[in-house]
Amino acid sequence: MSTVEDDGDTNSIRFGPSNDSEGGSKVVFLLKAAGGAPILKKKKWALPRTKTIGHIVEFLKKYMHLDTQQQQQLFLYVNQAFSPALDTTIGSVNDCFSSEGTLVLHYALTEAWG
C-alpha cells in the first residue's frame, strides 16, 4: 500500500464528508491483533475509501511476511464479530461500523470469530 501514511496526529481522524476539514477522504483505522496473531508496531493506518478489505488482507500478508507457500491466511474482523467480504470497500466499513470517529479492525491468523 504505497498510499499508506502514518498519521500520528490523532486530531486529524477523518471519516467522511461530514467531518473532513482538509478535503481528503482517507479512512483512518486501527489494527488490533487477535487470536495470538503477531502485534504490529504500526497500528494506525490510512487508506482511500475505495480500497477493499481484500487489498488490506493481501498487503498485510506481505507486510507480516506470511508464508504464501503454506497458504497462511489472514482474517479481518469488524466489531469482533464478522468478516466483511473481500470486495467491501474500507469506506463502507467505516461509514457503517466506526465508533466515535474511529474504525477498529481485528486481524487473526485463524478464524477467531468464525
Partner 1 sequence: MSTSSIDDKDITRELWQSRLPICFILSDEDMSKVNRSESPEPLYLMLSRHSYFPCIIEKIFRYYSTYYKGNLNDQTNSINLNNLWLEYESIPLKWHYPIGLLYDLYTSSLSSSSSVSHLPWQIIVHLSKFPENELIRFPDIESIEAHYMTTLKEADALKHKGQIIGDMQKRDHKQLWNSLLQDKYEAFWNINIKLMSYTDNLQYFRYIPFRIYILDKPFMQKLFSPYDIEQNKWMTLYDLLQYTLNHEVQCEKLANEKKILNNNIENYRVIIHGVQPPLHSPIQWLSEYFSYPDNFLHICLIENQMR
**Under the rule (CB under 8 A), what is the footprint of partner 1?**
16-17, 20, 23-25, 48-50, 52, 78-79, 81-89, 91-92, 95-97, 111, 114
Instruction: Output the smallest distance, CB 96 to partner 1, in A.
Output: 5
Q: Of 38 and 62, which CB lies nearer to partner 1 in the complex structure?
A: 62
Residue 53: what are its φ and ψ, rounded to 5°?
-60, -40
Query: What's the grid cell of residue 4?
Result: 499508506
> Which grid coordinates are listed for 62?
506481505
Task: For the CB of residue 82, give the shortest distance to partner 1 in the complex, in Å.
Answer: 4
Distance of CA 6 to the CA centre of its chain: 13
Q: Which is nearer to partner 1, 42 or 84 (CB)?
A: 84
Residue (38 or 80) nearer to partner 1, CB: 80
Q: What percent of the chain is helix, strand and coil (3-state, nearest 5)?
A: 20, 25, 55
